[in-house]
Chains A and B, each alone.
Chain A
Amino acid sequence: MLHQEIVVENQRLAREADIYRLVLKGTVADTAQPGQFVHIKVGSTLDPLLRRPISVAGINRPNGEITLFYRVAGRGTRLLAGVRPGESLSLLGPVGKGFTLPTAGELLLVAGGIGIFPLFALVEAVDRSQVKVKMLWGGANRDFLEAVGRETLFQMGVDYAVASLDGSMGQPGLVTDLLASELNKKGVLVPETGEGNLLGSDAGCPEDWGRKAGFSVAACGPRGMLRAVTELCIQAGAPVEVSLEERMACGVGACLGCVCTVRTTDGALERKRVCQDGPVFDGREVVWDEKD
């Protein structure tokens, strides 16, 4: 579980000043799965104190390398940005429950902003001779989308559509608009009944839901987006997996710091650990309105 891995690359992405690509060589690549993360010690002192959870974006087993992307957002990630190739980092992981890998049908990936990174690993892992994969991605503007992943999407040869908030690239608006039109196109989006919020209800989720729908959705991005994606998928009768983020301490499930609230099948509320029970959850079980 604890590894020292060698930094192969730690580079700022062109034109997008605060996002870095970090490539690490070691043994995590042997077992890492799409949707899992590594818990990284940044700096060599006890301040900042805690490890940083970063999702795995690429797994290269033959080379023993994993690729991570992170945004410099505070002291910890700034320290991480200063690490040079050849140095080593302490990693705990791979941690958590990742995405389900479909073996047939269609997989719709929905990404908001830098939420695209863990979905790269999923695209790589899915057998695309058996599963039709399409990526829907939303970002602030053309500069962001170009710098962060459009090239990767192109190289992967995956079908994709983008949306930008300022309309400078793809469809103007949110990625959830893309998802709504995609679902409409398939004719699976049932109009809202007006009976209120479907979230957390059992409305229309029989056992064979996914099989009937013929496709599934995996999403990563801001919480509000994941909620909207889940709502659309419930209307469409599609299985949906979401990758959640939460402030985290131990990363091994011991401290109960990083919980999210879920409703179990018998209707009871439960607090699950994002680090071990997640970070990928069934969108339908997540209680999106967090109350005490």
Chain B
Amino acid sequence: MKKIDLTTRLGPLELKNPVLTSSGTYGFGEEYRAFFELSRLGAITVKGITPLPRLGNPPPRVAETPAGMLNAVGLQNPGVEAFLTTYLPRLEKLNTPIIVNISGFSLDDYGLLASMMPDHSCIAALEVNISCPNIKEGGLAFGTDPKSAEQVLAVTRKNTKLPLIAKLSPNVTDIVPLAKAVANGGADIISLINTLLGMRIDLDTGRPVLGNIMGGLSGPAVLPVAVRMVYQVYKAVSLPIIGMGGISCWQDAVEFMLAGASAISVGTANFINPLAPLEIISGLEEYCRRKGYNRVGELVGLAHR
């Protein structure tokens, strides 16, 4: 059987395969240790970290939707200090590249978070979250205005040597100016999409289901929106792309790569099938073999021919 080269280069970041897990869906990795050897993943992106600990939003925080779900967790996290002292040492033991998602409420926050992340640890890159829809200030505000987005990336860039991934929000009319802005700001990689803002109303109570009223939509329902945006960004910007949004099987992963993603990330699907990332890795390999490709990277952007 022909060996397929799965190694994936994303600018300065090299991974053994193109399958990642998404921030907010994978805790700090260890929650999924019971299912398989986590070092088989290309990388793990951990829960968004803020300068101070956050309680997050009141429950209910999740609601099911047609082929999807809403969440409004509101960046519950232990804060950067507890992350570095308690969680990072445990992440080192997973023997997997770790991507740390950082979220701020001001430019200073992003600068601070970037400066505190060690250069020589299991942290392979920082994912700059400018697209969280579930917090009142910051987050999404940075991700919908190109000028702010560029500033956030520039400040972060100044404060770390780690590769920077800019995570874009789909809650914009045109994704391209945002992609260009983060590229100008110094991003090495672009990841998209974060969740789409949505809401549900309970028919019995007549009130919004979520404690936060609105939340972010994820799951298979958002897949075509995400594929479209990956396609647009690939065309407009030369940075490598991590595609995500509703990926639950290898077919979805192939679709994202054809649209222009160099790597893909599995999020909500982990909740239903914790083995989804592994099944996607072997499915990608099998697809390449069948189609006669030697490297998985050959798929990237083929839909643009």
Contacts and interface: CB of A to CB of B under 8 A. Distances in A.
B61 interface: yes
Interface stretch (B64-72, B83-91, B112-120, B164-172): B64-72
Nearest to B54: A271
Contacts of B47: 256
A154 to B, nearest CB: 34
Given A47-B67, A51-B272, A254-B27, A247 B61 contact: yes
Nearest to A251: B271
A14 to B, nearest CB: 27
A247 B25 contact: no
A100 to B, nearest CB: 24
Interface stretch (B28-36, B95-103, B144-152, B183-191): B28-36
Interface size class of A (residues with CB under 8 A): 20 to 34
B195 interface: no
Contact of A49 (B57, B59, B76, B219): B219
Given A247-B63, A249-B271, A257 B32 contact: no
Contacts of B61: 247, 256-259
A218 B119 CA distance: 50
Nearest to A51: B272
A173 to B, nearest CB: 24
A2 B275 contact: yes
Interface string B14-49: 000000000011110001101100000000000100
Majority DSSP secondary structure for residues of B touching A: loop
Interface in A162-210: none
A259 B26 contact: no
B220 interface: yes
Contacts of B56: 256, 259, 271
Interface in A10-55: 41, 46-51
B224 interface: no
B55 A46 contact: no
Given A250-B270, A252-B274, A254-B32, A292 B211 contact: yes
Contacts of B57: 292
B208 interface: no
Interface of B: 24-27, 31-32, 34-35, 47, 55-69, 71, 73, 76, 209, 211, 219-220, 248, 268, 270-272, 274-275
Given A46-B220, A49-B272, A249-B69, 8 more contacts: A92-B274, A247-B59, A250-B271, A252-B34, A259-B76, A269-B55, A290-B59, A292-B211
Interface of A: 1-2, 41, 46-51, 76, 92, 246-261, 269-271, 276, 290-292
